Amino acid sequence: MSDPLFLSIAELGKAYRSRKLSPVDITRQCLARIAKLDRQLNAFITVLEKESLARAAQAEKELARGKDLGPLHGVPVALKDLVDMAGVPTTYSSKAGSPKTPKRDAPLVARLKASGAVIIGKTNLLEYAYGAVHPDVGQTNNPWDPKRTSGGSSGGSAAAVASGMCYAALGTDTGGSIRIPAAYCGIVGLKSTYGTVDLTGVQALSWSLDHGGPLARSCADAALFLAAITGKRFTAKLPNVKGLRVGVMKHHDEARHMQSGVKKAVDSVLARLKKSGAKLTPVSVPDMDMAPDALMAILYPEASVIHQRLIAAEPDGFGEITRQQIEAGFAIPATAYVRGQMLQRELAMRFRKLFDDVDVLISPSVPWVAPAEDPALNDDSGAGEMLYSGLYNVLGIPALALPAGLSEGLPAGLQIATPWGADSLAFSVGAAIEAGVGLLHPPV
């Protein structure tokens, strides 16, 4: 058997049920891997050693007596540390309003527990998911090269999954915060259709733009995790792509940001799709280059309203960059916010029309490989990082990041977007691409 910490969730479940592996042993191995690697990676805020071993022991007994709660039964997973889990501190990777210890689970946590999953810990993130590292917490480093970032804001979840510390993890995404870390760490991350994941009990950044979703090592694993946290069925059936109508997205100003190695990796995937019978068409939509400005016009004031009381009470608890961004949001005029919402509706209508002609949209996830640090949210590099991702938060459609291959020894990410509610189509097309690229494992 290959390294059990890098088995698929289905393979792990089969080994559990045949008694070749046990949930307790696997949980111990995950905890040992965290102890070995996390001083270097800084992926976890809280490790639930005692709790996870107790839950693993319970899962082992349940499976032994034939009580099977589903594919995640006994599988170690992690939560981004802005989610309520009863009795466990939530820090938001901040010193402001932190820690809070909730009395009840967020609905998605309750669903995970009901699925039998072993929640092994809570992962690091950019402070309050708002684009900057709190200096007292530090960034999560990349398993492929610890001198580089794992991305934000769900970087802890991505690094934990990529490095074998757990099998899947929760992320949230307001402008790319699932897909950017997935791209940098060489794993799969889905920003599900807006509203698919119940975000009650999850710290908000922007009500209009926040999405939840899975980070995992394969599309099949991500589909299982999304099913567990939503109670809905998602699949990643390997499709025949012959006749698939692929819109190859062309973005304004992308040539200025694009690294040649990332372009080469994505072009190679597109060439394989074409060879397999997919129909590729370059596409663009009027005014979609305005989406980043619309995103910021919506995000900034909503984030400021969300944090209004806390920043008044504990301004020094925030890192300087986060504090400045919250303060800046109060100065955004209502007219800019309304214009952003108007463009949001207009682009949605245009993309609905576009999906009459194509089945999926493909682009890079990020125009470059993992940098040393997370770019600033409001400068040119930040705009470049979110060039391909932020549009889909404005639209609310599902968007999946997965590896396209390697560039300079680091993962290059590809993004698949589908119509509203077609999350399983994203997983399935992703699975077809995955079959050609293969799964990536970092050298740690």
What distance in Å separates the CA atoms of residue 213 and residue 400, rounded to the nearest whole number? 10
Annotated active-site residue in 80, 95, 122, 191 = 80
Q: Which residues contact 135 (CB under 8 A, 6 or more apart)?
A: 319
Which DSSP symbol is given to 202?
A: B
Q: Which of 170, 130, 157 is nearest to 306 (CA)?
A: 130
- Judge contact between 244 and 275, C-beta under 8 A: no
Which DSSP symbol is given to 290?
A: G
Helix pair 334-354, 291-306: axis angle to 10 deg: 130
CA atoms within 13 A on the CB side of 92: 25
- Judge contact between 124 and 140, C-beta under 8 A: yes
Annotated active-site residue in 52, 93, 94, 153 = 153
Query: Is 153 part of the annotated catalytic residue set?
Result: yes
What distance in Å separates the CA atoms of residue 72 and residue 319, rounded to the nearest whole number? 37
Encoding tokens for residue 430? 């992703």
Pairing of strands 44-47, 118-123: antiparallel
- H or E stretch including 283? strand 279-283
How far is residue 8 from each of residues 19, 168, 231, 240, 368, measured CA to CA in Å? 16, 10, 21, 22, 28
What distance in Å separates the CA atoms of residue 33 and residue 42, rounded to the nearest whole number? 13
Residue 206 CA to its chain's centroid (Å): 16
Query: Is 80 part of the annotated catalytic residue set?
Result: yes
Annotated active-site residue in 98, 177, 363, 407 = 177
Active site residues: 80, 153, 177
